[in-house]
Structure 1
C-alpha cells in the first residue's frame, strides 16, 4: 500500500467555489494507469488493483488490463461499442456480451465545482479542479487536470454502517492519443469455439473514468 499512498498528490486549496459545471469531457483519446481501492470504508471487502486503461471516443472503444495482488485474479477487457461487443478474458477463456449504447463520459451538468487546487512542486505544478455530485446516497468527487483529464475519483458515503460500492481511483502516467490501435483487438480465444463463452448483456461491469 505504500506505492498507493505515494500517488496521493499534495495540493494547496486556493478557493472554494460552489457552482454549476461547464461542459467537461475527457480528451477523445488517452491512455492512463490507475490504482483502485475498492470498498474504501467497508469492512466486507478491500481490494487493491492497478489497471492500464485506454479510452478512444473517436472509435467508441475502451481497453483495460487489470493487475491484482494475485495473478490468479488478473484479466483483460475490451468494450467495442461500435460493434456492440464486450470481451473479457483470463485463464484461456473469453466471455463475450453486448455493450449496450455508447455514452461519452463527461462530468454531469448537475455537478458542482467545489475546489480548485494544484498538484506537484513549484514551479512544476498543474491546476486541478474538483467536482462533486450525488448518486443516490453516494457522493462522487472527481478531480480533473488540464483538458478535463482525470486525476482522482472517489465514491463514498457517510452512512453507518458503511455499505459497499465505495472506492477510490488514482490516475497517473496519462498520455494523449492511442499508441497502438491493436490494443482494441480481442485475442483469438474470443472467436474460437471452446474458449468463447456467451454472456448476458448485463453480465459484465463497465469501467468508466467518470
Structure 2
C-alpha cells in the first residue's frame, strides 16, 4: 500500500530540457486527502479547502467530503458517472443532477516534461516528474510520482486581470484501492420524493486527479 505525505517532503529539483510525456494515467482506484487553494477571480478572495477524496475509475465513481471544523460546514458529493447522477448534500438537504460524460483523466501525450525531482529524505525518497500542458487557455502543471500517482496539480496564468479557473491541489496520505465501496452510496435523503433535480450553486466541481 502506497502512502504519500506531501507535508513532509523535501526535494532536490533537477531542471530538464522539455521533452514529451509518455502515456500517464493515475491509478484506477485510490483514496487521498487534498488541500486546495482556488482563485475565484481577480476581485474576490481566494478559498482554501481540505477534501477527503475517493477515486474509482473501474466503476466510474468519485466521492468527495469537505473536511470542516464543524458539522454545519461539512459538504459531500458523489459523482456516479455510470448512472449519470451527481448527488450533493449538506445540512440535511440533497440535490441531484446529471454528471454528463465520463472521461478518465490522463496527462495528454503532448504534454511537456519540464522538471524531474526527488521527494523525501534519503534513503526514503521517490522520483517525481512535472508535466506542463494547456487547458482552456490556462497553464496546467501536474506533478506525479511512481505509477503516475498524483502529487500536485496547479492551473495558473500570467494574464492580467487574473481570470477564474486558477487552483492548486496538493495530494497526501494517499492509499491505493477503495477500502469500503459504500462510500459511493448516497444517503437516504437523496432519494426522498420531491428532491430537487438540479445542481446547488455551491456544489463541488467534478473533481478529477488531473
Give the structure-2-normalised TM-score: 0.89
RMSD (CA atoms):
2.2
Q: Confirm or deny that 1:27 pairs with 2:34.
A: no
Return the offset for 1:203. Answer: 9.5
Taking the aligned partners of 1:8 and 1:153, their CA distance within structure 2 comes to 17
Question: How far apart, in 2, do the equivalents of 1:161 and 1:10 lie?
Answer: 33
Aligned to 1:3: none
Deviations 1:46-70 (CA, angstroms, capped at 9, x unpaired): 1110001101111111100012467
Cα distance in 1 between the residues matched to 2:75 and 2:40: 22
Q: Is the 8 A contact 1:48 1:68 kept in 2?
A: no
- 1:1-210 to structure 2, matched below 5 A, reads 7=7, 9-39=9-39, 42-68=42-68, 72-194=72-194, 196-199=195-198, 205-210=205-210
How many Å apart are 1:206 and its aligned residue? 1.0
Q: Per the alignment, do residues 133 and 50 of structure 1 end up closer, same or farther by CA in structure 2, a change over 3 Å counting? A: same
- Assess if the C-alpha contact under 8 Å between 2:39 and 2:166 holds in 1: yes
Q: In proportion to residue count, which structure has more strand?
A: 2
Q: Within 1, Cα distance between the matches of 2:42 and 2:73?
A: 21
Q: CA deviation at 1:159?
A: 1.1
The answer as to whether partners of 1:34 and 1:171 remain within 8 angstroms in 2 is yes
The alpha-carbon deviation at position 42 of structure 1 amounts to 4.2
Structure 2 portions without partners, runs of 5+: 1-5
Q: How many residues align?
A: 203
Greater displacement, 36-45 / 102-111: 36-45
Q: Secondary structure of 1:18's partner? A: strand
Change (3 A) 1:78 1:136: closer
- Identify unmatched segments of 5+ residues in structure 1: 1-5
* 8 Å Cα contact 2:49/2:67 also seen in 1: yes
8 Å CA contact 1:132, 1:140 repeated in 2:
yes
Cα distance in 2 for residues equivalent to 1:84 and 1:162: 33
